[in-house]
Amino acid sequence: MRSNTTGAVSTPAAVSTEGTDELPQDVQRDVDLVADLVAAGFTGPLWQQTADELYAYAFKPLLSAMRRTHKLADLCAKSATPLVITDEDRGTLYRSAPDRERLAILTISVAMETFPQVLKDAGYAPAGNRGKDGRLTRLTSFFYGRCGLVFPRVLQNWRTEQTDRFVHHAVRMSDGTLLHALGQDSPETVPECVADLCDTLTTMINGLKPRNRAVWLLTVDGLSQGEIAEVLDIKVGDVENARYAFRSKVRQARRSGKLAIPPEIRSEWARTKTTKAVAR
């Protein structure tokens, strides 16, 4: 029997002792460690050291799993929250190291919050909860499994935060915004064909997902790729991808005849091209 920090007597482990006589030494050390942590009330240097070791163990595998979603699906298979990954999520997790790191830190933090109670409730039972290959689970692996249980919920919250930030900048584009950006909002009458083109492009931009719409609204406002990336807290490559995707959509609309470029705009393009060539 061990006495805890309040002086009360507690059972040594709050851990299943089924078959502990035959536990391998490393697993037995983990069982004894949990008993000591429970007795200490999960406070003090021992808990801090253990928490640091659990964090270090889980961090890199989480980063790796986020780049290979089949591994992520396996990790989260037993979670009460279904793992839903959109194509945009998948692309972001594969390309963006900062986003993967933030998600890993959030996941570990959430898992760590409840881990002491899980251990108090005898949640770590290596003899009764063997891995897929029949091996007994170490405490580090058990904690990593807990990370898989909370990750889907963490991902949902992260996605909402991301969307909220983009929505803040992705206000609906008003009629005339493109006309103003093109210098076509002078007191002179704007050709109807030019106004129709701007209306069509405005509708297309307003139909984009929040992040891509925010990118194009800031583009129309005259911000550079680097400035847009800084405002939206995304990578320059994400800005480039958003611009390329919309340009491709516009090119496809032109080829299919759904989007016509007025002669006035074509003439302006030719004039600008000639001016640049002379300047060189």
For residue range 22-80, list pLDDT tens digits in order: 788 999 999 999 999 999 999 999 999 999 999 999 999 999 999 988 899 999 999 99
> Taken in order 133, 104, 72, 161, is the CA torsion positive or negative?
positive
Residue 139 and residue 123: Cα distance in Å, rounded? 11
Specify the pLDDT at position 105. Answer: 95
Residue 87's SS3 state is helix
Highest mean pLDDT among 173-177, 180-184, 264-268 belongs to 173-177
**pLDDT > 80? residue 187:** no
Long-range pairs, 244-247, Cβ under 8 A, ≥24 = 245/212, 246/204, 246/205, 246/208, 246/212, 246/216
Q: Which amino acid is at 269?
A: W
Q: Which helix or strand (DSSP H or E) is residue 3 part of?
A: strand 2-3
Q: Which amino acid is at 279?
A: A
End-to-end CA distance of the chain: 87
Average pLDDT, the chain: 82
Q: pTM for this structure?
A: 0.62
Specify the pLDDT at position 270. Answer: 66
243-263 residue pLDDT tens: 998 989 888 888 888 777 777
> Taken in order 98, 99, 102, 108, is the CA torsion positive or negative?
negative
Share of the chain above pLDDT 70, in %: 81
Residue 155 and residue 211: Cα distance in Å, rounded? 17
Residue 14's SS3 state is coil
Please state, as a whole number, how many other Cβ atoms lie within 10 Å of the Cβ of residue 195. 17
DSSP secondary structure, 36-48, as one string = HHHHTTS-SHHHH
Residue 246 and residue 5: Cα distance in Å, rounded? 62
How do 2-3 and 9-10 pair as beta strands?
A: antiparallel
Residue 232 and residue 214: Cα distance in Å, rounded? 8
